[in-house]
Structure formats: C-alpha cells, structure tokens
Structure 1
C-alpha cells in the first residue's frame, strides 16, 4: 500500500460561499437530471441544504452567504459562480441564458468581499469545471466550460492547467466526476483525488492515471448518485448517503465520510460540491 493510502488525515479549516435555495425549482432543463414535469419541493430542498450548511459550521468551517435572486433557481449551486485562489476570483460566464444573470451577482459579491475580481472573456462555470489539486488546476470541458477558458484560467492564476475531456452528459461538470480529497498538500506532495474513469475520454483517463496513480476509482453506481460531488477538508468528506461503495473506499484510506442527503437538489443536477464554492485567501 502506498504512503497516500496509509497517511494520517488532517482536517483543514475551509471558507465556503453558499446560497439558500429559497427560489429552488426545476422549470427548465439544461442538464440530463432536470425534468420540469417532475414536481420539486422547495421547503425540502431548503431543509436539506440547511443540514449541509450547519454541518460545515459544526466542522469548524466558515460559511459566507450570497443573496439568492428570485429569477435564478440554480443560484444555490454556488460552485458554478467562480473560482477563487489566493484572494483572486475568476468570475463565471455561464453557457446557458437561464443562468447568465447570476454572473454579475457573483462578481459583485467577490468585489464587496475584497477579492481581486477578474471578469472572463471565455465561457466557464467556475469550480464546477475547475478544481485545485495541489498547485495544479484540473479543468473540465466537453459540456459547459470551453477549452479557451482553460487557457484563460491558467493566465489568471499563473498555474499549470490540466485539461480533461468529459464525455458522459450525466457528468457535465468536472465536479460531478472528480473530487479532490486533500485541499492542502505539502511541497512536493501529490494531492489525492477520486474519480469516475468512464466519465472521461481515453486520453484524459491516461492523464489521470499517470498523475494520480493512487486515486480512488469510483463505480458508476456511486457516480450516478453524485457520490463524487463531495466536499473534503482533508479528513472529513461530505458525500451522498447513497454512495455506499465510495463511503467504504474513503474509510479504507483513512478519511471520515459524513453522509448528507441532498436528493431534492439532485433534481436540478447538483449535489454537495455544487452547493459549495471554496473561498481561498482575502478577507
């Protein structure tokens, strides 16, 4: 067994941006999970979201809130609202008109919070498609963020970008098919990740296997319940209670999986990570 599989895990205090789903509903379809004909329960979505919010506080994390806009039911998925490293915020530019109006609200919030805010030229959906793994930015494309956004995000943050091609429409954002398990790594150390191999094309699978040989490979059953759409502080990993195999894999690696049910928000195509935007730096 490798060092990464036997290491003692350490929780790190995180700062997150969230948005109450007071206007949540599914009245249009921009991903395979959204079925407007199926009823949604806003009160249930809010209650489930509140449990996630309160858990973060219990774990010692800090949670900031952005005000929800009445005409944007997907604003609860704050991970799509930007990508933040070292006090600099790269704002989103949504692919679909249904979410376009969220972008100025997120940019305004970042500025008011003291972040150096960059307005993008390229279509990108923030931490939905950009994940920080150590010093490297893992960047997804294929359904939402465009390839040019990968160049742009690299220029904004001055970091290496590894492009990954998503091929299964169920996993339309990178954060639905890949999770970074160690938000803080030491110099020369490799971040631990988990991912669903068949969500990526063969070239991307090869890149992931080479760069992260000790990664947790998650089953399609666990991926299909958004098991990978999770949030980790390096020890505690908040996941869907239906991702039973992933839960066991995490325990075997020394992580502490915590189960939070966001089944109502999954009707909009989002889970735990979708509702959680990490704020790194500035305050």
Structure 2
C-alpha cells in the first residue's frame, strides 16, 4: 500500500454499557480468575475515558443501562449484531450471561428498530460477527454455534465467511481479528485453524499480522473508524505497524476490564444504519 494514502475517519454510532455492576464472580474464559480482586471504581473510570475518547473523535455514543447481577453486560459488542439497521439478537452459551441477550434486544425494540430477530442458534453478537465492507466474518469454535452463520447470512442478506478459533485465550473472533477499513483487517494467525488461516490469506493477503505478544495483551480487541484505531496501549508492535500504514493508533488502558477478558471492541457495539 502507498504510505501516502490519505485515510479519513467516518463518524459512527456506538452502543456502550457502563460497568456499574462489574466484577469477576465466575470463570467462563481463561482470563477470568474470581479469586483475584477487581476495582469497580477503576473499571468505571477506564470505561468513561474510552467513552469520552469516542465522543472527542466525533462518534455518537448511546448508552444502555446495566442490569444488577449481570457483570459482563459492559461488553456491549456481545449484545447483538447490527447491519443495515437490522438487529440480530445474541443468544449466549453460558448461563451466567443469558440475561444479556433479551436486555439488549429490549433496548433495540424500545429505540424503534423494526427488523429484529431473536436467534434460533447461539451467537455472541459482534464478539463473533465482524463486518468488513459488505461481508461478514463469523467466528466459531468456543461460543457461537456454526449453524448461526447461515442464520445470519439469511437475515442480513450478506455473504458470511466462517472462521474457526482454536486458542481458548482467543475465544471470540474479536479477540483474534480486528476490522481496520472496508477492505483491511489485522489478525493473529495462530488463533485459527489451518483452513481458516488459508481463507484469511486468500481474502486479505495484505493484512496486518499480530505477534503473539500483541495478541496476548488483547491488541486485536480494537476499534477503527478508518483512520483512528483504538487499541490497548500495551500492543506496541501493532501501534508501529498501524502507523506505517497511515492509521493513527490511539492507546487505551482497560486493565480492569481485561480481568474479565475484554477490551476496546468488547465494550463497543456499532449501530450500522
């Protein structure tokens, strides 16, 4: 790619949920260690900084009120998938999170969304569904049922490409792959099966490839508006690669939320019109 390529930021509408009830009281992924303390006040402060960063960059942030006793509701990306104003609800694999799906769906109905689908099969929203231009990359392997990929394709009327995850520390697609623009992604190859790696190489031969070190600090749990890429500040190698391609990396500290296995993208659900 020509290094002088000018990139522009596109304003987005985002849905976020404040971590007022955040805690790690159970373990449903390798990051969650209930015996270790969490700081709810710090989690809220870090979340507020992320929200303010989005608004400072010109994005619109909607807020859904968190439910008590549902500590992972802060991870709004898992609450639904929204493309062309259509809302595919989320259905969670673990009982600890099942209340989140209906809570998010109720929000969309109250906001006047008309095309809303309660799914038949388990899917965990944008945790496993990432939109790249007019195509959807769909993760499976740990959470989302592969049968939901066909359900999403039928509902959205867009091609859905299935990708299988194999590393328990990268249990959702948005922990192993990030969308940078309508044609560009970054990902960690070792998080995928050989076949899925081959598919990604075929579709995105010029993708940014993350190191094990950057993947381990959740560097791929990122949000891009086409110019600014918000990602964990500890992912230094990705910051350098992104800068060399004309993006503007913005480091974020969400260390408290990482104790539950979430970072920038997990906190952010894009409301695509």
So what's the TM-score if we normalise by structure 1? 0.95
Which of the residues 208, 212, 222 maps onto 1:216?
A: 208
Which of the residues 261, 270, 274 maps onto 2:266?
A: 274
For residue 222 of structure 1, give the secondary structure of its aligned residue in structure 2: helix
Taking the aligned partners of 2:220 and 2:124, their CA distance within structure 1 comes to 18
Partner residue, 2:255? 263
Partner residue, 1:235? 227
Partner residue, 1:138? 137
Partner residue, 1:53? 51
Superposition pairs of residues 1-283 of structure 1, within 5 angstroms: 2-3=1-2, 6-115=4-113, 116-182=115-181, 185=182, 191-281=183-273
The CA deviation string for residues 3-49 of structure 1, in whole angstroms up to 9 with x for no partner, is: 5x652111000010000001000000000000000000000000000
Taking the aligned partners of 2:136 and 2:100, their CA distance within structure 1 comes to 24
* Runs of 4+ more than 6 Å apart: none
Q: Any gaps of 5 or more consecutive residues in structure 1? A: 186-190
For residue 171 of structure 2, give the secondary structure of its aligned residue in structure 1: coil
The CA deviation string for residues 165-202 of structure 1, in whole angstroms up to 9 with x for no partner, is: 000000000000000001xx4xxxxx100000000000
Give the paired residue count. Answer: 272
Q: Any gaps of 5 or more consecutive residues in structure 2? A: none
Taking the aligned partners of 2:88 and 2:17, their CA distance within structure 1 comes to 18
So what's the TM-score if we normalise by structure 2? 0.98
Q: CA RMSD in A?
A: 0.8
Taking the aligned partners of 1:71 and 1:230, their CA distance within structure 2 comes to 27
